[in-house]
Structure 1
Amino acid sequence: MAKGAQTRARSVSRLQAAALEVFAERGFHGASIEEICTRAGLSRGAFYSNFEDKEALFFALFDEHADREVARLDAAISDASTVEEALDGLTGDGNSDEERLWFLASTEFTLHAIRHPQTAERLAEHDRRLRDRLTELLTGFFARVGRHGNPDLDSLARLLIALHEGALMQSLVEPDRLPPGALQRRFLPAILRAEDY
């Protein structure tokens, strides 16, 4: 990688790390480009040479998080031949600080998108691309466990995402009463074995 490209990649990485923290702490609207730049130790010029605006920065964070999650799921369930073997990979690690920051930032941004239809369309497109990748993983998993038929894998991916996000929210609010992954471990086996969806 050329030196200029390395410098740009480092700047992008620093801006994304700073933005994740600031979005989580202050919300999408409360986060200023100035604060993100200050936290990253970079100038506004560095920001605008890499991102058009805060939304573009959030979508870069979204895609990076999606890549990590798909890779994690792929590694966890690629060899699973039973639902039980896949459970640990599908439940995730809601305990990590990074997962908490991502949940806060993405929830705030989702509220912003709901209020702004054009942003909602862009978010829906990023969500769709993530679901497409999840359906590929689910297709391989179901073939390994001998699941036949033609399940609606897009709807299943939506349900799995909703279960993950909703359960994580409840675990973050009541960590002593609901450990991360508890709801998924309890209900995912029945969902994955269901014949109709």
Structure 2
Amino acid sequence: MSDSKIISEPPAANSGKQRRTKKTRQELLRSARAIFAREGFEHARLEDIASKAGKTRGAFYANFKDKEDVFFAIFEENIDRDIEELNRLLLGLPTIEQRTQALADYLSKLSKDRERILLNLEFKLYAIRHPRKRKRLADLHGVMRLRSSMPELNRLIPLLREHSTKTKLTDSLVICAIVDGLSLNHLFDPEVLDNQVLTHYLNLFMREFLSGNSRGINKNEVVTLAK
């Protein structure tokens, strides 16, 4: 029998290393959120993200490939949190009306998250300014939105389960467009589009949108929503 031994880290050491790696990743994500929101996606530097987190450039590349990669990690983190919170909210409510109100209230809360709204807008602007990347980024965005938002809508209206993937992606993008538009103008002029008005229009939109998906939106409903 050979005297040589296979040396491996004990489970406790592996667990500690995993915790440190996860902690480093979370610190880089928090830093990236702040830098992207402050400087804009395109002007943000990897060195600044690493420095703000107290990490090296090498630590950044050990966790992320590039700025796009770290953004999507931020986006996926948001989605995971949204799913967890919406599951708790919606599954405990017995009626469609209550679930619709809860979803509208949740979207209203997200619309007041300045950092998150700026991050969403920055990344979309980056994709629009770079046509060669736009399709790939839009596809990735769509896949994540489909994974995150449609299960909650399916719980609101069972009929949506029968919709095609394309229709669900369109529905999801419509919701994003309304939230982005209201949120941007809320940040731009909060005295006019204040919290109460913002919540009112989100509630109106969700009621019309969900009723439209169950019956088919007609011209009169579109006019009503636009007012």
TM range (shorter): 0.7 to 0.9
Structure 2 segments unaligned to the other structure (5+ residues): 1-13, 218-227
With structure 1 as the length reference, what TM-score do the two structures score?
0.85
Q: Indicate how the Cα distance of structure 1 residues 57 and 91 shifts in structure 2: closer, same or farther if over 3 A, else same.
A: same
Equivalent of residue 108 in structure 1, options 122, 127, 133: 122
* Distance across 2 between alignment mates of 1:89 and 1:111: 26
Q: How many residues align?
A: 192
Amino acid corresponding to residue 149 of structure 2 in structure 1: L
Shift of 1:156: 2.3
**For residue 216 of structure 2, what is the aligned residue in structure 1?**
196
| Larger RCO: 1 or 2 (CA < 8 Å, sep 6+) | 1
Equivalent of residue 26 in structure 2, options 13, 16, 35: 13
Instruction: For 1:22-37, list aligned pairs within 5 A.
Output: 22-37=35-50
Amino acid corresponding to residue 80 of structure 2 in structure 1: D
**For residue 170 of structure 1, what is the aligned residue in structure 2?**
185
Is the Cα contact below 8 Å between 1:22 and 1:36 reproduced in 2?
yes
Q: Indicate how the Cα distance of structure 1 residues 140 and 38 shifts in structure 2: closer, same or farther if over 3 A, else same.
A: same
Matched, 1:64 2:77: yes
Is the Cα contact below 8 Å between 1:18 and 1:36 reproduced in 2?
yes
Equivalent of residue 91 in structure 2, options 70, 78, 90: 78
* Alignment RMSD: 2.3
Instruction: For 1:82-161, list aligned pairs within 5 A.
Output: 82-92=96-106, 93-94=109-110, 99-116=113-130, 117-118=132-133, 120-143=135-158, 150=162, 152-161=167-176
Shift of 1:44: 0.9
Amino acid corresponding to residue 139 of structure 1 in structure 2: N
With structure 2 as the length reference, what TM-score do the two structures score?
0.75
* Distance across 2 between alignment mates of 1:181 and 1:72: 19
Shift of 1:105: 1.7
Q: Percent identity?
A: 24
Q: Indicate how the Cα distance of structure 1 residues 95 and 193 shifts in structure 2: closer, same or farther if over 3 A, else same.
A: closer
Q: Indicate how the Cα distance of structure 1 residues 39 and 149 shifts in structure 2: closer, same or farther if over 3 A, else same.
A: closer
Who wins on radius of gyration, i.e. which is larger?
A: 2
Amino acid corresponding to residue 158 of structure 1 in structure 2: L
